[in-house]
Structure formats: C-alpha cells, structure tokens
Chain A
C-alpha cells in the first residue's frame, strides 16, 4: 500500500480554537489533497498542492489554510474552528502522471464542540 498517514485520527476541539491536521506521505508524490466528507454532501475538495509551496483552493476553502514546506507533508489548518467544520477529513496523494493513483489516507474525524 502507498505510504500515506494522517494525524490525528480523532480530535475533539472547542469552537474558536486553532486546529492543524497533518498528512504525511513516503511516496514522493507531487500532488496532495485535502477533502472533507459530510453526510449528504459527499467528498468536497478543500485545498490541494502541486508541489512544495504550491497550493490552490478547492470548492470549500473558506475557513481553511494549508501549507506544504516539504514534499512529504501537507498541513491543513482551521484558524478558528467552528461547529460547521465538524467532519471527516481525508488526505489523498497522486503521482505526477498517474491519474489512477489517487490514494487516500485513513481520515481524521474532527468534532468541534
């Protein structure tokens, strides 16, 4: 299996606090993605990265920021968590030419109370 891990796997946080989720890969893949998954909405793209320090917004980027200072790590930050950001967050990776190779991490279940 492709080496992709997300941390933490579960987190409960309070409204208004900052939260950072980490995605780590050992595949040296160029592309990394953050999605959130909610009942009735499916998987929605938050942000993605196409290289170190190169990122772009997805369809639901408001309230989220990302950083990629090295190939293997892609961080998702909620600057001030809100209850609407309670969700399951998935990271995914793919190689430069490999449209098949969207591999997902195991997900982070975030609850904002």
Chain B
C-alpha cells in the first residue's frame, strides 16, 4: 500500500520563502510529483522527481530523498497568486496511476 503525508495548512507573507514537506511510504517507488490547485480549479503539474536531489524551476524547487521517503516543495519570493493547495503525489507500484496526499493549503498574505 501507499501512504502520503503533508501538512494540512500553512501561512506565509509576500516575498518570503516557504517549504512544504511530504513524506511517503510506498511498496514501490516510481517518482514523486507536486501539483498546484487553485480553489475551484483543476490541479496543474509543478514538478517531478525520480532521483535524489533538487530540481529547480524558476521560483519553485522540489527536493527528493528516496532513502528517507521525503520530499519538499520550496516556493521563493512568494506572491499572492501562490495562495493555493499543493498536492504531493506518488505513482502506484505498477507505475500506472498517481496516488495523492490530502494536500497543503497555503495562504499568502501581504
């Protein structure tokens, strides 16, 4: 089976840096994903990690440690539009479907 844990809510201020953690327990590992979802909208892809280390993409970076079953999403220079839910997800053992954590709701204030 699989279990994915992430904090329910986080708050931050504009211009700051925030780190959203995700721990996972899977019977097989085929990659770790992060999605962003604004209220009332569909999730959109942010990042994918399959090897240990940091993947940087503009203001967003994602880190993976397979040995620790741990990932984080780092958001820099926060903007109001970054207020959204951030979903951590892992592929199931067969590699055929994504299993999602419950999501972290980030609120950015001025």
| Residues in A lying within 8 Å of B, measured CB to CB | 31, 33, 35, 40-45, 48, 50, 56, 58-59, 90, 92, 99-107
Contacts A33-B97, A50-B96; A105 near B42 (Cβ below 8 A): yes
| Residues in B lying within 8 Å of A, measured CB to CB | 30-31, 33, 35, 41-45, 48, 50, 87, 89, 91, 96-103
**For residue A31, which residues in chain B have a CB less than 8 angstroms away from its CB?**
96
Q: How far, in whole Å, are A102 and B36 apart by their CA atoms in the complex?
A: 12
Partner of B102, one of A42, A56, A92: A42
Chain A residue nearest to B99 (CB atoms) is: A45
Contact check, A42 vs B103: say whether CB atoms are below 8 A apart. yes
Contact check, A41 vs B102: say whether CB atoms are below 8 A apart. yes
Contact check, B43 vs A43: say whether CB atoms are below 8 A apart. yes
Chain A residue nearest to B88 (CB atoms) is: A42
Contact check, B87 vs A90: say whether CB atoms are below 8 A apart. no
